[in-house]
Amino acid sequence: MTELWPIIQSLVPRLDREQRLKQRARVLWLYGLSGAGKSTLASLLEARLASEGHTTALLDGDIIRDGLNRDLGFSDADRAENLRRVAEVAKLLTQFGVISLCAFITPLSANRRVIRNIIGTEDLVEVYLSASFATCAKRDPKGLYARAAVGGLSKFTGRDSGFEVPATDESPLLIDSEHETVDESLAYLYAQVSPRLRLSA
């Protein structure tokens, strides 16, 4: 099947698909601590893009681990493999002209480097949602911080397992989700992303 892939791609070129969909395929990768607002912001952005006629796909941890990656646990190796598979799926979607919105913690610089290598920097828009562990613990939308506090979750990111804040050379879009409202974050993200989704004249 791998040998056939270049032939399959050439039958309907990506540009033809993008022109038919009237959009530039991109992968928007939102990352940050659990509770930073990744899935919320990705869902709201997807809804806005869909209302404008864009063809999108939303991928987040709950969706992926319920199906494609249900065989993976939460060891460092399994987490890395989880992200690698998602990156491959997102890359595949770009070949079909689809805009992918990915919301994953993506804790390590090494994880993010692998994602860049798979998807390519031309197609990838990285978005870091900055919020402190304490703030995310107060929000705790899924009750994960409460479970971790009583030993119900092992290797919890930000406490038992590290989260590496992006270095200056990673240069993602930065959203201060600790101090901004959801509406402010959405407005900023839309303004940054929207021009990148337009086809070149």
Query: What's the CA gap between 70 and 81, in Å, rounded?
Result: 12
Which DSSP category does 196 fall into? G
Give a yes or no: residue 167 inside a domain: yes
Give a yes or no: residue 5 inside a domain: no
Give a yes or no: residue 176 inside a domain: yes
Q: Give the structural domain span for 171.
A: 12-191
CATH assignment at residue 139: 3.40.50.300
Give a yes or no: residue 1 inside a domain: no
Report strand pairing: 99-103 vs 27-31: parallel
Which DSSP category does 171 fall into? -
For residue 50, the one-letter residue type is: A
Give a yes or no: residue 33 inside a domain: yes
- Tell me if residue 159 falls in helix, strand or coil: coil
For residue 73, the one-letter residue type is: G
Give a yes or no: residue 196 inside a domain: no
Place 91 in a pLDDT band, splitting at 50, 70 and 90.
very high
Give a yes or no: residue 25 inside a domain: yes
Identify which has the larger pLDDT, 61 or 3. Answer: 61
Q: Which residues pair with 58 in a beta bridge?
A: 101
Query: What's the CA gap between 36 and 38, in Å, rounded?
Result: 6
Domain tally, the chain: 1
pLDDT tens per residue, range 13-40: 999 999 999 999 999 999 999 889 999 9
pLDDT tens per residue, range 116-158: 999 999 999 999 999 998 888 888 777 666 666 666 566 666 4
